[in-house]
Amino acid sequence: MTAALPTGKLPPALLARLLSRAPTNDPAVFLPPGPGLDCAVLDLGARLLVLKSDPITFATDAIGWYLVQINVNDLATTGAVPRWLLLTMLLPESCSSVQVEAWAEQVYAACRALRINVIGGHTEITHGLSRPILSGTLIGEVARDRLITPRGAQPGDCVLLTKGVPIEGTALAAREFAPRLSQALSPAELADAQAYLTQPGISVLRDAQIAAAAGAVTAMHDPTEGGLLSALWELAEASGHTLLVDPASVPVPPLAARVCAALGLDPLATIASGALLLTAAPGDAPAIRAALGAAGILCAHIGAVRAGPPEARSAAGLLPRPARDEIARLFDSAAP
C-alpha cells in the first residue's frame, strides 16, 4: 500500500514531477511553473501580468487579513503592483452567517488598504471541514524591465534576509497554541508574540519595494512553509546555483526563539513570512541594506551565491531540507 502524504507542501521531487508535465505551450506564458517559482508571469505586451494563488490553512484568527498579506508577499517579490483578487472561501458546516461576513470583511478591509479590487471567486459551505480554508488568486502588473524572479540570482551575489525568522510561525504558534505557551511566557510576552502579525509584521511588500529601489536586486523569495531552510533550497533550485549560507548569521528575535523552544520548533524550518530573502549584486548590497535600515527594517547579510549545483550549503556541508513545516507537525501532534 502506498503511504499517505503528510500535511503541508508536497515533497519537492513529487512537486517537480507534477510541474514538469503541466501544459505551458501558449507563447504568452513568460514564466512557467517550476520549483521555487511562486508566481506565474504572462506577456501581454508592454506590461507583464503576474499571478499568484495561495491558501490559508493553518490560521483561523484574522484569516481574511492573513490571506491578502500572504498573496501580496509573493507578488511583491517580482516587483509587481497588486491590483485584482479572486477570493475562494471553503467554510465548515458549523459556521454562521455572521462569521462568513466577518471573514469576508477582513479580506475587503485588507484589500482597501492596498488598493486591490476583489473581482470574483467562489464561496461555499464544504462538508468535512473542521476549520475555514480561504484561498486567493492575486493579479498584478509590472513593467517588463522591472520584473524580478528567483532565476535572476547570479554567482557572486550577496544573500540578504530582512527582519528575521520565524515571524509568521511565532504569531501562528502564539495565536493557535496560547494555552501551551502560557506556561513558558508571561501574559505580556504572549500578547507580543501574537502581535507579530503586524509588529514586526508578516508583510514584505515594503521590504521588497525599498530594496528594489535602492539597488540591483537580482532575486527575491518569500519564506513560507518549511521556513528559511526550504526557501534557500527553492531559491537555489530556481536559480540553478549554490547558496552558501552561515546559519549563525540568520536573525532570530529573542521572543521568537523562546516561542520555538517552548514548542520544540526549529526556527529555521518554521513558516517565516515577514522575512524577505533576496540576492543582490555585491556592489549594491550595502546600499540596499542601508536603505532598509533607514526605514527601520533590519537586513542581514547571511551568505553568497556560488557557481555549483542547485543546493543550499553552509561551511559544514549541505543544509537540511525540511520534509515538512514545523507548524504543520505541531498541528498534527495536537490533533485528537
Residues 128-176: pLDDT tens digits? 998 899 999 999 999 999 999 999 999 999 999 999 999 999 999 999 8
pLDDT for residue 334 is more than 60:
yes
Q: Residue 56: what pLDDT?
A: 87
Q: Which amino acid is at 294?
A: A
Task: Say if residue 316 is exposed, middle or buried (CB neighbours under 10 Å; 0-12, 13-18, 19+).
Answer: exposed
Cβ neighbours for 62, distance < 8 A, ≥ 6 positions apart: 106, 197
SS3 content of the chain, % helix, strand, coil (to 5): 40, 25, 35
Measured CA to CA, the distance from residue 262 to residue 258 in angstroms comes to 6
Residue pLDDT, tens place only, 87-97: 999 999 999 99
Average confidence (pLDDT) over 307-334: 91
Residue pLDDT, tens place only, 64-88: 999 999 999 999 999 999 999 999 9
* Confidence bin at 299 (pLDDT 50/70/90): very high
Domains of the chain: 12-146 (3.30.1330.10), 150-334 (3.90.650.10)
Q: Residue 4: what pLDDT?
A: 85
179-184 contacts, C-beta under 8 A, 24 or more apart: 180/262, 180/263, 181/259, 181/262, 181/263, 183/262, 184/258, 184/261, 184/262
Rounded to the nearest angstrom, the gap between the alpha carbon of residue 52 and the centroid of all alpha carbons in its chain is 12
Q: Are 62 and 107 in contact (CB under 8 A)?
A: no
Q: Residue 133: what pLDDT?
A: 94
Mean pLDDT score across all residues of the chain: 94
Report the percentage of the chain scoring pLDDT > 90: 85
Which set of grid coordinates corresponds to residue 302?
547571511
Average confidence (pLDDT) over 211-234: 96
Q: Residue 188: what pLDDT?
A: 97
Paired with 117 in beta bridges are 84
Among candidate residues 269, 250, 24, the one with its CA nearest the CA of residue 169: 269
Q: Residue 3: what pLDDT?
A: 79
Q: Residue 6: what pLDDT?
A: 79
* Confidence bin at 112 (pLDDT 50/70/90): very high
> Is the pTM here over 0.85, yes or no?
yes
Among candidate residues 325, 226, 223, the one with its CA nearest the CA of residue 274: 223
pLDDT for residue 7 is more than 80:
no
| Helix/strand number for the chain, H first, E second | 11, 13
Report the percentage of the chain scoring pLDDT > 70: 98
* Confidence bin at 336 (pLDDT 50/70/90): low
Residue pLDDT, tens place only, 165-184: 999 999 999 998 999 999 99
* Confidence bin at 12 (pLDDT 50/70/90): confident
| SS3 (DSSP) at 12 | helix
- Where is average pLDDT lowest: 24-28, 53-57, 58-62, 108-112? 58-62
Cβ neighbours for 309, distance < 8 A, ≥ 6 positions apart: 242
Q: Residue 1: what pLDDT?
A: 62
Average confidence (pLDDT) over 321-330: 89
Measured CA to CA, the distance from residue 85 to residue 107 in angstroms comes to 10
* Confidence bin at 46 (pLDDT 50/70/90): confident
